Amino acid sequence: MTATRARPIASLLLLLAVPALAGALLAPQIYNLLAWLGQHVNLGPHLTNPEFKRVLSRSALVIALLLFYPAVRLSGVTSLADLGWTRDPRRWRKIAAWYLAGALLMAAIYAGCDLAGAFVFKPRSTEFAAWLGKFGALFAGSLFIGLFEETFFRGYVFGVFRHRLSFWAAAVVASAVFALIHLARPAEPAGLDPAHWLAGIRMIPHITDGVEARYLAPSLANLFLMGLLFCILYRRAGSIYPAIGLHGGWVFAMGMGTFLFDRSGDRLGAWLGPSETIAMTWLGTAVVAACIAAAIAIPTRKAEDRGTP
């Protein structure tokens, strides 16, 4: 990094705060434009009468994507190695190995819950084509999530803080950002006029209203602990490859788990609650905490062994 040019905090504000505020101000204008166009052109059901919360989230996302490159450069990142993509000819093997390990661990948890009578095997579809389509979509989606989110949250966000704070302080802050962004599921409050120019601003206090209250606490705990785990793996391995694989494997297995299983009765009620999605349960919290304990025991890779892509 070039210390004299790096502006890490300004970089984070540019990428996190600006899209949220600009998206909130822009969303009503886009909503009104789509409504006007819908009177003259057949835009399809999703654009002719769109949900305002979707217009808001898409507006913020597009602005964030446009600002991503200048924000990363402003943070002082000069190479892929600064984002955790260190030189390693076995990088894809490591990602694959950790992906498989994460998927198998989560599959074992679902199988155990099924044997305990807490879950019942009840696929959402019995059609082979549906199974194949779900498998393919989840695999592609989970791999993208692992690659993108670990590069962004661990490589970039955690990277910004770890050059200014101690490891644990940086990991805590980055993990809090990781958790809060994932819980950003806005719900339109009663009486909201999406055509009003302040509609997006008025949605900000309702940013997590889309998360059911009974799932909020375990979801927040799980996301925060997952963020800590991935930061620890990054530090221990000297790269983000294990975090990419484990993250993707968990996403894939949990997606398949909710496709294949239903909650059954109140068995393991204190651990599972009403959900069959492990990420929304206290059982998931215990699993991630155990993984953190195991990750701490992994020897840290020596700094001199790390290279650049």
> DSSP string of 166-195?
-HHHHHHHHHHHHHHHHT----PPTT--TT
3-state DSSP assignment of residue 113: helix
**Phi first, then psi: what are they for 263, rounded to 5°?**
-70, 140
| Residues 93 and 224 reside in one and the same domain | yes
Q: What predicted TM-score, i.e. pTM, was given to this entire model?
A: 0.86
Q: What is the pLDDT, as a whole number, of residue 118? A: 93
pLDDT in tens, the chain (309 residues): 444 467 888 898 899 899 999 999 999 999 898 888 877 776 665 566 678 888 998 899 899 989 988 998 888 888 889 899 999 999 999 999 999 999 999 999 999 999 999 999 999 888 888 899 999 999 999 999 999 999 999 999 999 888 888 999 999 999 999 999 998 888 888 889 999 999 999 998 888 888 888 888 999 999 999 999 999 999 999 999 999 999 999 999 999 999 999 998 888 888 998 888 899 999 999 999 999 999 998 887 654 333 333
The domain total for the chain is: 2
CA dihedral 188, 192, 197, 202 (to 10 degrees): -60
Does residue 48 share a domain with residue 149?
no
Does some domain include residue 200?
Answer: no
Same domain, 177 and 249: yes
pLDDT number for residue 115: 94
CA 231/CA 157 separation, integer angstroms: 11
d(CA 229, CA 235) in angstroms, rounded, equals 10
For 189-216, letters b (16+ CB in 10 Å) and e give eeebebeeeebbebbeeebbeebeeebe
- Residue 149 has a pLDDT of 94
Host domain of residue 4: 1-78
Structure tokens at 290: 């155990």
Burial class (CB in 10 A: 0-12, 13-18, 19+), 159: buried
